[in-house]
A and B are shown apart, each in its own frame.
Chain A
Amino acid sequence: MATQRISGSEAVILSLLEEGVDTIFGYPGGAIMPIYDALYDYDQQVTHYLTRHEQGAIHAAEGYAKVTGKAGVCFATSGPGATNLVTGLADAMIDSIPVVCITGQVSSPLLGTDAFQESDVVGITMPVTKWNYQVTSADEIPEAIAKAFHIANTGRPGPVLIDIAKDAQFGMFDFEYKKCTKLRSYLPEHPVDPFQVKAAADIINAAKKPLILFGHGVMIAHAEAELKELIGKTGIPAAWTLLGLSALPTDHPLNVGMLGMHGNYGPNIKTNEADVIISVGMRFDDRVTGKVAAYARQAKIVHLEIDPAEINKIIKADAPVLGNAKKSLRMLIDNVNTNSHEEWIKEFRACDKIEYDKVIEKDIYPTQSGLTMGEVVRIASEKTNHDAILVTDVGQQQMIASRYFKFSQPRSNVTSGGLGTMGYALPAAMGAKIGMPDRVVFAMAGDGGFQMTIQELGTIAQYNLDIKIIVLNNNFLGMVRQWQQLFFEKRYSFTEMKNPDFVGIAKAYGLASQKVTSRDQLETAVQEMLDHNGPYVLEVVVEKEDNVFPMVPAGASVSDIILEP
């Protein structure tokens, strides 16, 4: 490529174009103005979405990355602009989401002088980025951005941040772009070792009661087809983690549901009865394992994982298989025997029956007078033929939606798993809709989380982002209230909320909206929302003190899962 003499700011935009970026979420400010000025000339090649807060920008970038598999890009200015990204960075870090953040910084001679809107962004973001770097000279820009995309997208993905001093944005230099494909100090993934695969296959082939646990890593590696093939060939039941949702169709005959604290009864109980556990692209989060000392002690553990630091971190693996899940699954499929486990699967179905009778039926087909979150989720899923993208917030509605929403395509569930970031749903749904404009996108939030980033209704209105927003309003911080009820003697310490008129707020933003308070209005209202061409806010007033069950109480074993209080 021929070189051309341009400014650092223009180099930022050209570098992003070289990386195939066509979407940016951001918020301008003093220290990033030169970059925004350069962006002004490239509105044909790249669309910038102005959010209402930097947190909104980074969650949107996460939502975009989650549904497309491409790194989300976000811009913010120095100081408060950059510090407002921190929650999103921490979220993307713990959930392995590729995000590239570019922040403006004060001019390099001012660094360390407490200049206006100066903060030590590289220092602050170090623990919450996979990699970060400060640019103080224009000619460093192409290489820094090339490295940023390589690091964010490969191996176990994660957020990266480049902090660019204002004088570097103004500096002129001869631009030339070279993609980064290799770094000596960074091995994105280990080549899969055939001996490890063989050892894993031997254990699987000898198993009587095997159980597959799969997570986000399956979708990151685009290994959904391989997972399905492994399950089909071996006949092994498979359970998903919260972030593994949608990697397999919900109605796959061997999908036995969700693991963890509010997961399904069968996979939790059976974890402690299986003789072999095959975990694929998941990291044994404490919300999955419950009490580690009482977790799957009887089982041999096969762990397919890309990140060496995750092997033996929580659960010791008898047969670790290090590497990319797509490659290791492919090799594993070739080494395992065709099999079936009908009796074992019947045991799961018996658990399903118990759970349905005790919990699910009254959640999704309630007879009580108040509306339940479960029936709202069921109707939203049914009315979109179980083919929509679900973006959830954090709390009761997240768990209920994860339990009852059904998926037919991968990358259809967007939620904040590891960090549990309230306020995630609304902005993440913007990114999801922009990434997948042809699919129906639901943003589901409680009254608490909705109000944490409610200002993003402004962004949704400005760009007419056709998101179907469902606010499940119980006038409580429901999950905390549930814990207070169960473990703190019903001492409802600061969890009740006096809420505004959500429909009025939506209307003030120019958005269509309606409020539902009774069952006979619900189906029609959901249908009207779906039929409406454009964004829609549906407030559903639900039972004030409903609880999410089943539940593995904190500190208890997965086999001590309870179905009712």
Chain B
Amino acid sequence: MKQEYIITVFSEDHIGLLSRITIVFTRRKINIDSLTVSESAITGVFKFTIVIRETPDRVEKVVGQLEKIVDVLKVFANTNDEMIFQEIALYKVSTEFLFESDKVEKIVRNSGARILELTREYVVIEKTGHSDETQRLFDELNVFGVTQFIRSGRVAITRSNIERLSVFLKERDAMLEQVD
């Protein structure tokens, strides 16, 4: 059965690595639903957070292939319930709706969103949450007309209190010593 997985790739900071990583997915015709890249808590180590829908077996194989990439340090695959994750969405609606009634204001308030910028012409609303939540807000606002909308890739963090990679790096050092 296919389900949503969050794949976290820890890597060295090298140009072209994103391409090498995505090739592993495209070669197997796996669509990447979302992708976020940023530096991790460890300086010089980058983190790719990739969301795909796949079977556990295919995910296991993709992880194996990703870990073969020379500049990749470690790859983790998790189901949604194993991680805390968020996406951020921005919505632009015309300011007139805000003054016509209190409906837009109520929607924003009830959904835990906030107004980022208010001008004569438009208002920019920001909402953080899971994609079904940001989508719900979109549907509600779109009754009035959302003129622009953007949702970020997913950011995700484990429920453990340390960065998993720190443990890995220690083990890796020990293994490299052993193989010599």
What is the interface of chain A, defined by CB distance below 8 A to chain B? 122-123, 126-127, 130-132, 134, 151, 181-191, 307-309, 312-313
Contacts and interface: CB of A to CB of B under 8 A. Distances in A.
A126 B20 contact: yes
B46 to A, nearest CB: 11
Contact of B70 (A183, A191, A308): A183
B27 A185 contact: no
A185 B70 contact: yes
A308 B176 contact: no
A126 B23 contact: yes
A122 B16 contact: yes
Looking at A130, A183, A184, A307, the one whose CB has the most chain B CB atoms below 10 A away is A184
A187 B70 contact: no
Interface string B136-176: 00000000000000000000000000000000010011011
Contact of B176 (A123, A182, A307, A309): A182
Nearest to B20: A126
Contacts of B43: none
Nearest to A183: B70
Residue among B15, B65, B68, B169 with most chain A CB within 10 A: B68
B61 A185 contact: no
Contacts of A130: 70
A185 B71 contact: yes
Interface string B56-84: 00001100110110111100000000000
Given A131-B71, A189-B179, 18 more contacts: A126-B16, A126-B19, A134-B15, A151-B70, A181-B180, A183-B70, A185-B72, A185-B73, A187-B175, A187-B176, A191-B178, A307-B68, A308-B64, A308-B67, A309-B61, A309-B64, A312-B60, A313-B64
Interface of B: 11-12, 15-16, 19-20, 23, 27, 60-61, 64-65, 67-68, 70-73, 169, 172-173, 175-176, 178-180
Contact of B12 (A127, A181, A184, A307): A184
Contacts of A182: 176
Contacts of A181: 180
Contacts of B20: 126
A185 B71 CA distance: 5
Nearest to B64: A309
Contact of B65 (A123, A188, A309): A309
Contacts of B178: 191
Question: Interface on chain B toward A: helix, strand, loop, or mixed SS?
Answer: helix
B175 A191 contact: yes
Contacts of A132: 16
Contacts of B172: 184, 187
Contacts of A313: 61, 64
Contact of B68 (A123, A183, A309, A312): A309
Contacts of A188: 179
Contacts of B15: 134
Nearest to A147: B70
A184 B175 CA distance: 10
Nearest to A186: B70
A269 B176 CA distance: 42
21 contacts: A122-B16, A126-B16, A126-B19, A130-B70, A131-B71, A181-B180, A182-B176, A184-B73, A184-B169, A184-B172, A185-B12, A185-B70, A185-B72, A185-B73, A187-B176, A188-B179, A189-B179, A190-B175, A191-B178, A308-B67, A312-B60
Nearest to B61: A313
Contacts of A134: 15-16
Contacts, number: 55
A131 B70 contact: yes
Nearest to B27: A127
A189 B178 CA distance: 10
Nearest to A324: B179
Nearest to A189: B179
A191 B177 CA distance: 10
Which 6 A/B pairs are nearest by Cβ-Cβ distance? A309-B64, A191-B178, A131-B70, A185-B73, A186-B70, A185-B12
Contacts of B179: 187-191
A312 B20 CA distance: 23
A528 to B, nearest CB: 49
A123 B70 contact: no
Residue among B12, B60, B64, B169 with most chain A CB within 10 A = B64
Q: Max chain A CB contacts within 10 Å: which of B11, B16, B27, B70?
A: B70
A134 B17 CA distance: 12
A350 B60 CA distance: 42
B33 to A, nearest CB: 22
Nearest to A151: B70
Given A307-B68, A309-B65, A127 B23 contact: yes
B42 to A, nearest CB: 11
Contacts of B19: 123, 126
Nearest to B73: A185
A132 B173 CA distance: 24
Contacts of B61: 309, 313
A188 B68 CA distance: 10
A131 B20 CA distance: 9
A189 B175 CA distance: 9
A278 B100 CA distance: 76
Nearest to A327: B179
A122 B15 CA distance: 10
B11 A185 contact: yes
A309 B176 CA distance: 19
Contacts of A127: 23, 27
Given A184-B73, A191-B175, A191-B178, A309 B12 contact: no
A131 B14 CA distance: 12
A553 B23 CA distance: 32
A191 B130 CA distance: 42
A122 B178 CA distance: 33
B116 to A, nearest CB: 36
A463 B11 CA distance: 46
Interface centre among B169, B176, B178 (most CB of A within 10 A): B176
Contacts of B68: 307, 309
Contacts of B175: 187, 190-191
Name which of A123, A134, A183, A187 has the most chain B CB atoms within 10 A of its CB: A187
Best-buried of B16, B72, B178 by chain A (most CB within 10 Å): B16
B177 to A, nearest CB: 9
Nearest to A131: B70
A151 B71 CA distance: 11
B30 to A, nearest CB: 15
